[in-house]
Structure 1
């Protein structure tokens, strides 16, 4: 997901950009740890997007299962959280296209901005 451009940002947009950046860092770190152990994740997964998401979720579940069965201190890798009940998982997905973003992508980004900046 793209961040809001840096020109004339409102406080809500600035906060969204900050939180999006932090979330991306966490996701990249978790995926980096996971892909360091599972070589098939180091190259493009050439399947439909929905199936690729299922593959990554299943890999997280298997990783967490293995992680929780090993004795304490034998593996320094943290458990990766694949919380599928998160409100963010219910957000609609849009097809990627080359070039400029479409209106659906902007609607999703605005919806996430409203969620991130809400009092809840």
Structure 2
């Protein structure tokens, strides 16, 4: 999801920008660890979408099995190294400078409202 621009950033918009950004970092770190072990994930998986989904699920299952058997098999990779790798990988993606549709902006606003509501807020997010 596209973050709100930095100019005229309200507390609600700042909180929204932080939450997907934090989730993205976690996913990038996990994917960096997976792709360092399973080379098929380093490039484009050129198969039908359904089969690609099966490949990713199989890799996750195998990865978890290996973790359960051999904790020392995966070398320690710092978050900084993974972030650099993810930025490098993302720089290869084509630029998309289109304005998001109204539906996407409505969904983003709904997430923003949820993140600041009592149900979706975190105790430390206003600090």
Per residue, is there more helix in 1 or in 2?
Answer: 2
Name the CA shift for 1:98/1:59 in 2 (closer, same or farther; >3 Å).
Answer: farther
- Aligned equivalent of 2:115: 116
Aligned pair count? 101
User: Which stretches in structure 1 are left out of the alignment for 5+ residues?
Assistant: 78-96
Shift of 1:50: 6.2
Task: Give the TM-score taking structure 1 as reference length.
Answer: 0.65
Q: Higher RCO, 1 or 2 (CA under 8 Å, sep at least 6)? A: 2
Name the CA shift for 1:105/1:36 in 2 (closer, same or farther; >3 Å).
Answer: same
Name the CA shift for 1:19/1:60 in 2 (closer, same or farther; >3 Å).
Answer: same
> Which string of whole-angstrom CA distances, capped at 9 and with x for unpartnered residues, describes residues 58-88 of structure 1?
4223211221133x544456xxxxxxxxxxx
Shift of 1:33: 0.8
Shift of 1:2: 1.2
- Aligned equivalent of 1:31: 31
Shift of 1:16: 0.9
Q: Distance in 2 between matches of 1:115 and 1:54?
A: 32
- Aligned equivalent of 2:84: none
Q: Distance in 2 between matches of 1:12 and 1:66?
A: 42
Question: Which of the two has higher C-alpha Rg?
Answer: 2
User: Which stretches in structure 2 are left out of the alignment for 5+ residues?
Assistant: 77-95, 120-127
Name the CA shift for 1:107/1:53 in 2 (closer, same or farther; >3 Å).
Answer: farther
Name the CA shift for 1:40/1:103 in 2 (closer, same or farther; >3 Å).
Answer: same
